Chains A and B, each alone.
Chain A
């Protein structure tokens, strides 16, 4: 049993991503969408927290949202994977439930 969490807020604006990570179980996945994709950047003040989370949780960003914001995939931290819309659907199908962090 596992959960796909989606986060659509920038972690530099509020605590949503941190709260999400604090409620994840091992084997869950976190997909960052919309302004949430900024959470996947490497070399930020959050990279250590994210790297730590990546040990037990899979991290994804929605590539169209990344592209829209002019962020090249090379800026993502190690362990964060880009997915397209079809990949989003696959993630929803793979997990038992989806929880949206608004």
Chain B
């Protein structure tokens, strides 16, 4: 299974998470988002970039409550809440935002 970006293929698992984290590009993010029927905008990029920074620093994708707590601190309560997150990513920030960010499934997320 693979995504196609500019004629190249990027392997992913049966759930759509890319196999090799180093394969990620901004263009790929748009392709994964399209497969999830999500259109990327500034708000969604804010979350995806946050996840990528978090992974870069700590080598894990944060649990949803950790993500929301952190966004609340950096971006305020109007963005740091469950409702906002599910409006951006209806099937859940872990399932969709992490996938689009090219990260593995968050630890503890089944």
A and B touch in the complex (CB under 8 A): no
